[in-house]
Structures are given as structure tokens and as C-alpha cells.
Structure 1
């Protein structure tokens, strides 16, 4: 789907064993971002810098098995993480807010602060993030709220995650008067 839409994602893989995690990390190159696929809220997510760190993470932080794989993503150095909240009826997509994380990419959004509007992204990047968000919503057939997380490095935009649901940032996006929510618009 991402290829069809012309969207990028960091190099990644899914490891069901320690050996698979090592092979994926070596193929991608360190550092990598590891996170269990079976937990929510970023628990046990970690930036891993070398083989020893990877072994320690696998041994101490997570359970790796066929039923409990670990996601291995290439860590994007010097990237800016962005959260987008949008609303779709399946035909039209309203991008309610584009929020720039204060912390570096790789820090879970629940542990970071955001700026609304973005403070360092130019208008072209913000417009492209909106275009990609709309394309994802329509391709996925989202009807309702959705949250998308991107990482921006230079002029490259990488898709990190899509959640077809309300996120913890929706109340913040709905508040600023410069960004009216659909509820606040006259009928």
C-alpha cells in the first residue's frame, strides 16, 4: 500500500527470535528502534545502538517468540517527529492539526511534548504531510478520527504509524481557536 501511495517508511522488520532481530538490525544498521508488537503506549520501546545493547534488550526487556514478535525499525537520526489528527467521512478528509514533537524522533508520543502549530517545519513539508494523511485515510477507508505519526528528516517524510481512532492529542487539537474543529464550525 505504501509503495502504491508513494510513501516512505524507515527500513524495518519483524523478529520472532533473537537471531532474526540480530539479522534485521545488521541489515538495517545500528542504531535501531526496538519495540514489542504486543504492548501499547510505547512500553519497552528502546533505541538500541549495538549488538551488546540488542542482546541486553532481548534478554531483559521483552519476550520474543512467534506469538510475540519485536518490531525492528531503522532509527532516523536528527528526525523531527510529527503527530497528525484527522477526521474523515470516507470521502473527504479534514486535517485538524499537525503537531511537532519537541523531543527527538524515537521518544514515544506519550512521553513527549508537542507544538501546535509546528515551529520548524516549512509550509511545503506541512502541506505534504497533509496530502499523505489524506491519501492514507482514503486508502484505508477511515470513517471517523485517525492519528498518523511521521518522522521528517530534511525534506524526507517517513510514515511511522497510523491509528484509525482518536488519539490522546485530539482534545488539544480541538482547543486552539486558530484551528477550529468541525464541531466549532457553523452549519
Structure 2
């Protein structure tokens, strides 16, 4: 790949995504700067980067969310571009604007695009303009709760009250009748205001047995291509834990419609960089509905890379540096099946309680079709201040059945001593006949967890023998 003109890239993030971006930059011959908090002084990303800058205390608000500190670090080190990764400031329009105002390149869409698509109510409106199907719901942010209750009754309960500026499952409530709606809507608004600084909420119809399907897109501000779909239906508390590509639930007709709608929406907002259009798919009717757009690289991007053979992070760096789209839709091919599981420092047998600690003996899986994106090394102290994600285990095989077998093999090879992880959850899930048949939906996992706690405990005990 050709160096896009970016000479030094500042990575405004931490953990496994910072490691991932360093690798992509080095493949392009670009020097890297990693900013870090006091808690991440010994992190793997800090050890790997060409330069590092300490930007503050462990609290994210005083370090990874501090725009001024990040821009000062860029100026001090002579960086000419900033990659936000995911989380923290990745979808903060003001940050993208500030990077551009400082004369730097932002690896992602501009602030106006982030602002437009980050407001979920506005994004729904934009999707409708592009003739993309949307879940039945309010036309925008609800202002009057009594009027909103009548809208909810017209849509039909249950309905979901969602934060307009939300993400990560925060600021969401489900109401099953009008009285419950009146009780929960103010709660959702208060949580949204506390979490995102914006109390705006809107309403969507609840689809009882929905699958979560998303389309990976890449744009250069003019041209847009897609990299097929991922299924992310295995969720706990609306947080994804397992992702696959492609989805076995879709036929070719639905796939083609999904791809057309995703590309149309991305073109309508002149999208630049890697992004994801997310949908709910109704198994019973075969209909799909737009729910939101993520204006960043996503945690689960490796499953798409595995089936397509493209480095999406490198591509978005190239585009940010001024390179026009290097691929056409016809040159993007899909091969085989990939699965990703998220390994968190949590105990799945103890209500997923976070367990920061020191990594002891570490054995990582490898071999054909196995990829482990992580930030670990023996002796690393996992800090308690941030998301508990340690890494992602990704496997690829010729078809889904072989991918499931390869995932089992890879999980059996993985050993992380010193702290519990979610690996026993995935070992237990691999024994589920429903999962083997992909007979799942977004509400499937939580009841399964309640009914299979003993199996998860058994797998955890075997892991630590």
C-alpha cells in the first residue's frame, strides 16, 4: 500500500484497538504516537509505539476524553493525523472539528457527518430520505410525554425509548403499556442526559425476535463500497458478545437490499472513512429496519477483514491522507465464515463481575484461520478504570460448522492465568444446539445464561485446572 502522505499518526485511544492501529500504521510506513493515562504507562500499546505522551490521571474525563491534552500531544510530537479508534472520542463531533481546526487530519468522517448520524433521531430522518426502511417510531425527538404516549399507543406496545445521542445500550427503556411508558420515558431521558450530555429520546417499536445485522461500509467522501454483513445477535444487556460474518439467516434478495440501502445512506451523507449501518432483521417477516449508523471502526471489524481479506484500518488511514478509494465493489469478494468472541476480564459465573488483575501465564492460540487481537502480556496489570475488554478471538474457516470447530480448538488453546475471563461462556455456548443451528435473536442469550449457569461454572473450573 502507498503511504498516503501522513508521516506521524497519533492514536487517541488505548487497549487492543490502539495495538491494532499501530500495526496498520506500521504496515503503511507511518510513525505512531500513543497518548496514555497514568494507569496505562505499562500498556502494550505504549511499549509498541514510536513515541508516547502521558496526558493525565486514570480517569477518562481527565485523560482520554480531554481534547486539549490530546491536541497538545499532537503538537508536541509533530503528528499530522489523529485516529480515534472506537469509544472515548471516536464519535465526538467536537473532537473531529477540533482536530481539523488544529490543522490535523482526522481519520474518520468530519464533524458535521458525525453530528448528523450520531443523533439517532436525525439519522432515522436521513435514512427515510434515502428510502432506507426504518423501525416504526416517532419522527424525531419526543418533546411532550403525553403526546409521545399517544404515539406509542398508535405504534403498538411494546416500544423502546432510546437516547437520541446514545450508544452501547445506555439510555434505553422498554415500555409494555402507556402507564409504564409515562414512568420510563423520563428515566431514559435522565440517563441519556447524564451519560451523553443530551436528554433527547425517541420511540421505536420493539421487534420481539429480531436479529442484529450490520453492513460494513467504506467511503472516501464521494464513492462508497460495502464489505457485506455481520450478525451480532448474541447480546447481553444490549452489549454484543459474539459476532459472525456472514449471517446465515439472510437470503440473497435480503442481502442485496441491505447492501443497496447501506450504500445509499452512506452516499447521501458523503461518508468518509469506515463505518457501519446497523439494522434489525425480523425473522418472521423477512423485513429489515435501519436503527443507527456507527461513524467509526467497530470492535467487530476483524470478522469482516477475515472474510474479505482487506485491512479496514489501513484503508481508512489511506483515505484520511487523501487517497481515493482503491477498491471497487466488483473487486471485493467474500470467502468462508468468520466468528469473533469478545474476551473480557469478567466472571460469567458471577453475574459478569469485572475482575481487573495481573496477567499470569499466558498462552495464546494460533494456527490456520486463527487471529487474536489483544493487549496482553505476562505481568500486565489490567486497570480497573476502563472497559473490561482484553481482546478478541477471531476464527475463519470454509463454512460455519468448521468455524465453530476451529473456535472450540482456539478456546481450548487459550490460557490467561491471574484473572477470570469470559472464555468459559463461549466454551459453554459451543455446546448449545440452538447456537449451532443459529436459531438465535437479540433476546436469546440472557434466558440461556440463566438456564446454563452450572455449565458455565463447569467450563470455568476446567479452564483453571
Answer whether TM exceeds 0.5 for this pair: yes
Q: CA deviation at 1:33?
A: 1.0
Pick the structure with more helix per residue: 2
Q: Is the 8 A contact 1:16 1:68 kept in 2?
A: no
Tell me, in whole angstroms, the C-alpha distance in 2 between the residues paired with 1:61 and 1:139: 30
CA RMSD after TM alignment: 2.9
1:29-70 CA distance string (max 9 Å, x none): 1111111224432213132211232233135444299x6221
**Aligned with residue 291 of structure 2, among 143, 157, 160:** 160
Q: Is the 8 A contact 1:15 1:70 kept in 2?
A: yes
Q: Which runs of 5+ in 1 are unaligned?
A: none
**Aligned with residue 83 of structure 1, among 214, 221, 233:** 214
1:107-164 CA distance string (max 9 Å, x none): 63x3353221102111221121111111111111001111111122233221111233
Aligned residues: 181
Q: Partner of 1:111: helix, strand, or coil? A: strand
Question: Structure 1 residues 3 and 52, CA, compared in 2 at 3 Å: closer, same or farther?
Answer: closer
Q: Given the two structures, how large is their TM-score scaled by the length of structure 1? A: 0.80
Question: Structure 1 residues 60 and 69, CA, compared in 2 at 3 Å: closer, same or farther?
Answer: closer
In the other structure, the counterpart of 1:5 is 130
Tell me, in whole angstroms, the C-alpha distance in 2 between the residues paired with 1:47 and 1:26: 13
Pick the structure with more strand per residue: 1
Tell me, in whole angstroms, the C-alpha distance in 1 between the residues paired with 2:152 and 2:224: 36
Q: Partner of 1:21: helix, strand, or coil? A: helix
Tell me, in whole angstroms, the C-alpha distance in 2 between the residues paired with 1:59 and 1:93: 39
Q: Is the 8 A contact 2:159 2:175 kept in 1?
A: yes
Q: Partner of 1:77: helix, strand, or coil? A: coil
Higher RCO (CA 8 Å, separation ≥ 6 residues): 1
- In our comparison, the structure showing a higher alpha carbon Rg is 2
In the other structure, the counterpart of 1:55 is 182
Q: Partner of 2:308: helix, strand, or coil? A: coil
